[in-house]
Amino acid sequence: AEVNYLGQLQHPNLVKLIGYCCEEDHRLLVYEYMSSGSLENHLFRRISETLTWTRRMKIALHAAKGLAFLHDAERPVIYRDFKTSNILLDVDFNAKLSDFGLAKDGPMGDQTHVSTRVMGTYGYAAPEYIMTGHLTARSDIYGFGVVLLEMLIGRKALDKSRPSHEHNLVDWARPLLTHEKKCLKILDPRMDGQYLPKAAIKVANLAHKCISQNPKGRPTVSHIVQGSFYESDVFMSCFDYL
């Protein structure tokens, strides 16, 4: 499946498949080298300097553009595994989606959804998909919202090391995102002072919409790219005013 999709779909924000090898039971895929590793490593492994606000927003925009290309293709594709470990970064921190092993053709014509066996990663998978196996483009938007929360707050989607009511990031953060003061207090302290409060609130509101329990309440990825991230103040940091 991965070879089929990446062989046909090429975009600056999708990792490039260079070649593949199939010999007896051995199968190898060769991708372009993404020297800065995964978003997950930079957020949670403490392997390098903290990602700045501006860099985080750039990564979110690039990932959304890659997703928009899949959703808006002539034959729409549902990614089905949107998570921080699948967002890879090159030397300039340009983000690209990787790992298309779970990708699925989206609904066509009069279809409202695709029915499939539930797969993906718990914590990122949309609740209606887990419950029914019904897959739509809005299922990917939920995963995008979870990743956006992880970038905003600096916490993993699931973290059993925290108090029980904070294990699930979405459940814990959802009621706080709509209160400006509470929202600003839970943002990643490693970004302290880097962002404009109004920009952070705007992105938090977007994340809140993306993780809506009702799929119809989630924006399309095209709306995200052309609307929320098109506004320049989202990318501005306090340093732009020095």
> What mean pLDDT comes out for the span 79-105?
89
When pLDDT is cut at 50, 70 and 90, the band that residue 185 belongs to is very high
| Residue 70 covered by a domain | yes
Q: What is the pLDDT of residue 241?
A: 44
Is residue 16 assigned to a domain?
no
State residue 95's pLDDT score.
97
Going by pLDDT thresholds of 50, 70 and 90, the confidence category of residue 134 is: confident
pLDDT band, residue 242 (cuts 50/70/90):
very low
In a domain, residue 87? The reply is yes
Which whole number is the average pLDDT over 64-92?
Answer: 93
In a domain, 25, yes or no: no
Assigned domain for 151 exists: yes
Please report whether residue 126 resides in a domain.
yes
Question: Closest by alpha carbon to 147, among 6, 38, 236, 5?
Answer: 38
- Out of 25, 81, 110, 140, the active site residue is 81
Q: What is the mean pLDDT of residues 128-146?
A: 92
- Rounded to 5 degrees, φ, ψ at 4 are -60, -45
Question: Among 186, 228, 230, which residue's Cα sits nearest to residue 205?
Answer: 228
81 is catalytic: yes
**Which of 180, 97, 186 lies closest to 143, judged by CA?**
97
Give me the CATH number covering residue 153.
1.10.510.10
The predicted model gives 164-193 an average pLDDT of 94
Q: Which of 162, 209, 204 is nearest to 181 (CA)?
A: 204
Query: Does residue 175 lie within any of the structural domains?
Result: yes
**Is residue 24 in a domain?**
no
Mean pLDDT to the nearest integer, 228-239: 62
% of the chain residues with pLDDT over 70: 83
Query: pLDDT confidence of 194, banded at 50, 70, 90?
Result: confident
What's the average model confidence in pLDDT over 61-84?
92
Residue 226: which domain range?
Answer: 34-241
pTM score, whole prediction: 0.89
Q: How many domains does the chain have?
A: 1
* pLDDT band, very low/low/confident/very high, at 37 (cuts 50, 70, 90): very high
Q: Tell me the mean pLDDT in the region 96-110.
A: 73
